Amino acid sequence: MPANPNMKILVVDDMVTMRKIVKNILKQLGFTNIDEAENGQEGLQKLRDGSYNFVVSDWNMPVMTGIDMLRAIRADEKLKSIPVLMVTAEAQQSNLIEAVQAGVSNYIVKPFTAETMQEKIGKIFK
């Protein structure tokens, strides 16, 4: 199933520059329904309040990290099926393994290109 351009996407990152970059790329890829959150806790709250179809999240964030948010999503009966793409500077193998074990849908290492994001989204929604 290809990605629906109208699907509701949540971008979670504490850096405003990264949120803008990810949103811009998603917009260029044809996605228009994009919301954002500053950390895992705010992201989780938004996910519980709304009907999101896809999450793009950073790893290192204050209050609640991306990996903790991912675990909380997978532990939540209503949210557990939402695909989560991690976009992070945490490029250690151990981080990737930790993310995979926590149930990440795919993983992008910063800095990245629009092509990489397109490819990962394509793989998640194929």
Partner 1 sequence: METQGQKLYEELGALARFMDNAMHTISAVTPQIISSSIQLPTAASHLSDVKKMTEDGTLEVMRLTELVQDNHTSMAKELAGVAEVLKAIDCASLEGRLEHVRSILAQDDKHLIEIMTTLSFQDLVAQRVKKLVAILDEVQHKLMELVVVFGLQHNKEQPVTEGHAGDLLKQLEESKTTSMKQQVADDILAQFGFK
| Region 45-84 residues binding partner 1, contact defined as CB under 8 A | 60
Among 15, 63, 75, 97, the residue binding partner 1 under the rule CB under 8 A is 15
Among 6, 24, 45, 101, the residue binding partner 1 under the rule CB under 8 A is 24
Contacts of 56 (CB under 8 A, 6+ apart): 9, 10, 11, 12, 22, 26, 84, 85, 87
Question: Cβ of residue 110: shortest distance to partner 1, in angstroms?
Answer: 6
Distance CA 108, CA 96 (A): 10
Distance CA 63, CA 41 (A): 7
Q: If we measure between CA atoms, which residue out of 71, 72, 55, 68 comes closest to residue 121?
A: 55
Residue 114 interacts with partner 1 (CB under 8 A): yes or no: yes
Among 9, 10, 11, 21, the residue binding partner 1 under the rule CB under 8 A is 21
Residue 20 interacts with partner 1 (CB under 8 A): yes or no: yes
Distance CA 42, CA 27 (A): 22
- Pick the closer one to partner 1 by CB: 4 or 24: 24
Among 16, 75, 97, 100, the residue binding partner 1 under the rule CB under 8 A is 16
Place of tokens 């149930």: 103
Residue 4 interacts with partner 1 (CB under 8 A): yes or no: no
Peptide bond into 2 cis (omega under 30): no
Task: Report the interface residues with partner 1, using CB under 8 A.
Answer: 13, 15-18, 20-21, 24-25, 28, 60, 89, 110-114
